[in-house]
Amino acid sequence: MPDGICLDEHDFPRVRDLALGILREGVPLDLTGWTEASVVVDRVDLRLDVVSLDAAGLLPLQHMLEDEDSDELSPSSSAYPIRRQAAHLAAEALGRPTAPTLLRSIVGAGPGTTPTGDDMIVGALAGLRALGLRAEWVSMGRRLRPLTSRTTSASRHYLHAAIEGRFGEHVHDLVAAIAGCEPAVSVIERASTWGASSGIDLLTGLTATVAASIQSRPNESAA
């Protein structure tokens, strides 16, 4: 994840046990010392590169994401009203807004530590990056940045990283799966492993943005 530190199989249990012990005693967990430690840690470049995308697998993927009775999507039913705004979010991300105030209204909206609206926005930003639409990505980030105070601290962190072009490994995996024309069921299964609804929410924003861009130039592939 952006700004995360990868622990090996020996270090992770020790850090986990230390954190749980401190929390049980009600003592604040101070991680300020990690700033110095991170200097010697190899940083992974999490910037999302431009990839070749086409419309081959997007239509069935969109249809599955719109199926509210799907077994994979049913646990996150409270996210549906916000997910229905995906097409409007995509239009706004691409500079063709049909609901000019949508971005403001969905930041921090929905269930989860990273709310549905925020996950969809991260997906839309990832779509713009993957398509190579730099101007649209910069414009969306500029409009989004002053709105991030409306959401949780965890979600704010991911939104700021996305504005900078950095995305978690699971986002890179979803983009690669779509670029590789994996079956829609497989892509949705990948997304479903991330959080209670975050993966599906993010995939919804990503798919809607990529599809809207490609549909606006149907005879081309996006690269």
Residue 115 in contact with residue 155, Cβ under 8 Å? yes
Q: Where are the domains of the chain?
A: 11-40, 58-215
CA atoms within 13 A on the CB side of 199: 20
Residue 171: how many CA atoms within 13 Å on its side-chain side? Answer: 32
Q: In this structure, how many other beta carbons lie within 10 angstroms of the beta carbon of residue 66?
A: 14
158: exposed, middle or buried (Cβ count in 10 Å: 0-12, 13-18, 19+): buried
**Overall pTM > 0.75:** yes
Contact (CB, 8 A) for 123 and 203:
yes
pLDDT in tens, the chain (223 residues): 887 777 677 777 777 777 777 767 777 766 666 655 555 566 788 999 999 887 777 888 988 887 754 555 555 557 788 998 999 999 999 998 766 678 889 999 988 889 999 999 999 999 999 999 999 999 999 999 999 999 999 999 999 999 999 999 999 999 999 999 899 999 999 999 998 889 999 999 999 999 999 887 755 444 4
